[in-house]
């Protein structure tokens, strides 16, 4: 299981197995229920290209490498709506970057500046949102610093507010190196206490 | 105006238009992380928010 920031995936080129650079990642779309990454919206390549009306579902990704997202060929692209579902209709979804993170006790922990994604090592393995990188508020005692906060299996999220259990404050990390263990410990604590 | 000043003006307009188009498209390509409220969990268990 690899951990990476969403900002590392955004703008990454989408390359076919024939070596064609056909698009780049625009948005990462994940499910509020469970945090599973549904896929990516796409933008064209080149200075004059804009967003595409095509998306890439996670199950169509052959590999998510350090330099590129690999796909078999362009036939795996689907209409953007297939990736976005109701988020596209603007019902309650939206970009979480800049959203406020609240505990279930109503404490403001800070604002989301990035999202941490766990990617399975096997092809077709799961890809899940497991944490947020936040700019800490005064409630965490280190206002303005960047912290990683783990998420439970079940995420309460809308575009404006993201709610985490208050106990998540005890599992914050400062870098990705120790964050995987923090996520596991946090989830184990929730299962033990729940 | 001299004839060459029209050429300078035309080139300036073209450059401005190209810069504007590149800036707009760059902004439209800018990505984010979208939460999908209707998205489905994939066999996950445990935990609660």
Q: What is the pLDDT along chain A (194 residues), one digit of tens a residue?
A: 789 999 999 999 999 999 999 999 999 998 877 788 999 999 999 888 889 999 999 999 999 988 999 999 999 999 988 887 644 444 446 888 988 999 988 899 999 999 999 998 776 678 899 999 999 988 877 888 999 999 887 766 666 778 888 899 889 999 998 899 999 999 998 888 65
Q: What residues pair up with A114 in beta bridges, in sequence order?
A: A133
- What's the complex ipTM? 0.81
Nearest CB partner across the interface for B36, out of A87, A165, A190: A87
Looking at residue A90, what is its pLDDT? Answer: 44
Q: Are B25 and A45 in contact (CB under 8 A)?
A: no
Hey, which residues 55-114 in chain A have their CB within 8 Å of chain B? Answer: 84-87, 91-97, 104
Beta-carbon contacts below 8 Å between A and B:
144
Question: Which domains does chain A possess?
Answer: 2-87 (2.30.30.240), 100-193 (no CATH)
Q: Report chain A residues whose CB lies below 8 A from the CB of B49.
A: 104, 152, 154-156, 163-165
pTM: 0.81
Q: Report chain B residues whose CB lies below 8 A from the CB of A24.
A: 29
Does A53 contact chain B (CB < 8 Å)? Answer: no
Q: Do A30 and B36 touch (CB under 8 A)?
A: yes
Residue B46 has pLDDT above 60, yes or no: no
> What chain B residue is nearest to A41 in terms of C-alpha separation?
B31
Q: What is the DSSP string of chain A?
A: -EEEEHHHHTTPEEEETT--EEEEEEEEEEETTT-BEEEEEEE-SSTT--EEEEEEEGGG-SEE-SS-EEES-GGG-EEHHHHHGGGTTTSS-EE-TTPEEEETT--EEEEEEEEEEEE-SSTT--EEEEEEEEEE-GGGTSTT-EEEEE--SS-EE-SSEEEE-GGGGGG-BSSGGGHHHHHHHHHHHHHHH-
Q: Do B31 and A190 touch (CB under 8 A)?
A: no
């Amino acid at each position: 299981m690899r951990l990476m920031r969403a900002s590392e995936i955004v703008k990454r080129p989408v390359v076919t197995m024939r070596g064609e650079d056909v698009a780049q990642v625009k948005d990462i779309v994940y499910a509020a229920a469970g945090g599973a990454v549904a896929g990516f919206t796409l933008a064209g390549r080149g200075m004059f290209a804009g967003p595409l009306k095509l998306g890439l579902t996670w199950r169509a990704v052959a590999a998510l490498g350090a330099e590129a997202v690999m796909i078999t060929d362009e036939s795996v692209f689907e209409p953007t709506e297939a990736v976005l579902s109701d988020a596209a209709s603007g019902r309650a979804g939206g970009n979480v970057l800049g959203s406020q993170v609240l505990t279930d006790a109503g404490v403001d922990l800070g604002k989301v500046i990035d999202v941490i994604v766990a990617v399975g090592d096997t092809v077709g393995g799961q890809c899940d949102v497991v944490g947020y990188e936040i700019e800490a508020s005064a409630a965490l005692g280190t206002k303005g610093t960047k912290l990683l906060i783990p998420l439970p299996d079940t995420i309460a999220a809308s575009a404006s507010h993201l709610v985490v259990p208050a106990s998540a404050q005890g599992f914050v990390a400062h870098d990705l190196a120790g964050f995987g263990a923090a996520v596991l410990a946090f989830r184990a604590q929730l299962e033990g206490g729940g | 105006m001299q004839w060459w000043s029209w050429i300078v003006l035309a080139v300036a307009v073209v450059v401005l238009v190209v810069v504007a188009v590149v800036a707009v498209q760059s902004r439209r390509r800018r990505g984010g992380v979208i939460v999908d409220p209707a998205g489905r969990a994939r066999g996950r268990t445990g935990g609660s928010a």
